[in-house]
Amino acid sequence: MGANLARNIARHGIPIAVHNRTAARTRRFLERHGAEGPIDGYDSLERWIGALARPRVVISMVTAGEATDAVIEQVAPHLDVGDVLIDGGNAHFRDTQRRHAALAARGVHFIGAGISGGEEGALNGPSIMPGGDREPYERRVAAIFEAVAARYDGEPCCAYVGPDGAGHYVKMVHNGIEYADMQLIAESYDLLRYGAGLDLEQIAQRFRAWNDSELSSFLIEITARVLAKVDAASGRPLVDVILDQAEQKGTGRWTAQDALERGVPLTGIAEAVFARTLSARREERKQAAARLRGPARAGGGADQRLAEDLKWALYASKIVAYAQGFAQLATASLQEGWGVELASMASIWRAGCIIRARLLDRIREAFAAEPDLPNLMLADFFARALADAQEPWRRVVARAAELGIPAPALASSLAYYDGYRRARGPASLIQGLRDLFGAHTYRRIDRAGSFHTLWAEDGREVEV
């Protein structure tokens, strides 16, 4: 991804010097791509840094964690006051905050930039989410990023996010939404194939049709491509020869963990993370398949109603995934003092990134009209869309349970919708239970204060 981003920068006529700790890789890169633009390469880190015009702009594209720290430790001693160091990897935002503070003490500006789009996006135009020191970003970096970013209606899919770790935080939540979106798609495929009885070509065709509807998105588009792919070695559908164990690099897990710490109900993304971890327990699942009973499946043949209902169940659940993600962004922005503009984030996700979708136009409009909207589901367009979709949505979740086909993201999205729209829920009982066994107290609906019932004595209520 780093190599393709460098090529993208050079193709826009921006001079760039490249370096890799493995000198052979640098040489191969120059042999293959050196003629694509003003590119120089250097075997030694010292010569590489020395070749850059001051004040320098240095971009690091390495694996998150220890590798990023190692690069910073190697590069920082060679930088001068006023230089800019950019981390374009998927770093945890707390690490970015730590690195930002450490480099600021040396007079070096640190920018944590979320970059989405994979290798293809890096080359042809990614969505870029930079955070850190605003003044040096706008003066030294913005022109570069805006030149190489994807464009939507002529506008670059790049916008300053906020101070210190804000850029990497937004990218983390982007990836969390991506987890939920892919899990919802996988569940829909599962139900179409093993619930509705469609074959793979029919399912691929259905996804192609969905991509011409409200569901239009990059992930829907490529789902059709994957389902239609035939494995050259075996002649079987590729999806049938891929091991059913979904891997992960951690950003979805970080998103769910952060939501728990902030008290944000992020059910769809959390279910997507748990579904991946369950898929990893393949040997256990094979044993369970032989021992654990499921429902007897009645009838046979295609279930046309389930197939038609799935479009709307998927659409409604995708709305919920975005609603939860943007609610998390709003909460974190307030708690961290970042000032993230949600409409701007929706704008820069409309092209280049993995979760680009037609839906983002409506999301941008919703937050542009009401920047402090507490939840996307409350915007008129989305409230109507969810109301219109709820009957097929409910039928899909119920049918999945009847068939014994797991649909955790679809079901949890519906539960979130139902839980959010209730003015009064069952948590009063939970508070009563907590007060009885742990004297945790409760609040009343009819007067202010905290109260405790003397359960072990005479049952009197006392204010505490």
- The one catalytic residue in 119, 171, 221, 318 is 171
Average pLDDT over residues 347-356: 96
Calpha distance 306→297 (Å, rounded): 14
Tokens 């043949």 label which residue? 301
The pLDDT, as a whole number, for residue 298 is 56
Cβ-proximal residues to 384 (8 Å cutoff; 6+ apart), any chain: none
Which H helix or E strand runs over 111? strand 109-116
Contact indicator for 262, 332 with CB cutoff of 8 Å: yes
pLDDT tens for each residue of 18-33: 999 899 999 999 999 9
Whether 146 is a known active-site residue: answer no
Whether 36 is a known active-site residue: answer no
Which H helix or E strand runs over 185? helix 166-194
pLDDT-based confidence at residue 63 (cuts at 50, 70, 90): confident
Calpha distance 256→245 (Å, rounded): 20
Calpha distance 43→94 (Å, rounded): 32
Percent of the chain surpassing pLDDT 90: 94
pLDDT tens for each residue of 233-242: 999 999 999 9
Q: Is the pLDDT of residue 300 over 90?
A: no
What value does the CA radius of gyration of the chain take, rounded to a whole number of Å?
25
Calpha distance 420→418 (Å, rounded): 6
- The strand pairing partners of 155, in sequence order, are 152
427-463: CATH number: 1.20.5.320
Residue type, 208: R
Contact indicator for 234, 258 with CB cutoff of 8 Å: no
- The one catalytic residue in 46, 178, 187, 261 is 178
Say which CATH superfamily domain 2-164 falls into: NAD(P)-binding Rossmann-like Domain (3.40.50.720)
Calpha distance 213→301 (Å, rounded): 26
Which residues in 416-435 are b (16+ Cβ under 10 Å) and which e?
Answer: bbeebeeeeeeeeeeeeeeb
Question: Would residue 439 be called left, alpha or beta, if left means φ above 0 and alpha means ψ between -120 and 50 degrees?
Answer: left
In sequence order, what E strands does 257-319 have?
none
| Nearest residue to 331 (alpha-carbon basis) of 379, 253, 261 | 261
CA distances in angstroms from 445 to 55, 428, 448, 452, listed in the order given = 61, 10, 8, 14
Residue 204 CA neighbour count, 13 Å, CB half: 14
Which H helix or E strand runs over 156? strand 155-156
Residue 352 CA neighbour count, 13 Å, CB half: 31
Calpha distance 306→405 (Å, rounded): 13
171-420: CATH number: 1.10.1040.10
Calpha distance 194→198 (Å, rounded): 8
Average pLDDT over residues 181-204: 97
- The strand pairing partners of 77, in sequence order, are none
Tokens 């959390």 label which residue? 270
Cβ-proximal residues to 47 (8 Å cutoff; 6+ apart), any chain: none
Helix axes of 166-194 and 93-104: crossing angle, nearest 10 degrees: 160
pLDDT-based confidence at residue 406 (cuts at 50, 70, 90): very high
Cβ-proximal residues to 3 (8 Å cutoff; 6+ apart), any chain: 18, 29, 33
- Between CA 247 and CA 206, with CA 396 as vertex, the angle to 5 degrees is 70
Percent of the chain surpassing pLDDT 70: 99
Among 128-137, 295-304, 330-339, 401-410, the least confident range: 295-304
pLDDT tens for each residue of 29-62: 999 999 999 999 999 999 999 999 899 999 999 8
Q: Is the pLDDT of residue 299 over 60?
A: no
CA distances in angstroms from 37 to 2, 6, 122, 141, 313, listed in the order given = 16, 10, 16, 19, 47
Cis preceding-peptide flag for 163 (omega within 30 of 0): no
The pLDDT, as a whole number, for residue 64 is 85
Average pLDDT over residues 338-358: 97
- Phi, then psi, of 406 in degrees rounded to 5: -65, 135
The pLDDT, as a whole number, for residue 301 is 62
Signed CA dihedral, 300, 302, 305, 307: sign only: positive
Question: Does pTM surpass 0.75?
Answer: yes
Q: Is the pLDDT of residue 435 over 90?
A: yes
Average pLDDT over residues 304-314: 97
Among 86-100, 244-258, 392-406, the least confident range: 244-258
The pLDDT, as a whole number, for residue 21 is 86
Which sequence spans correspond to the domains of the chain?
2-164, 171-420, 427-463
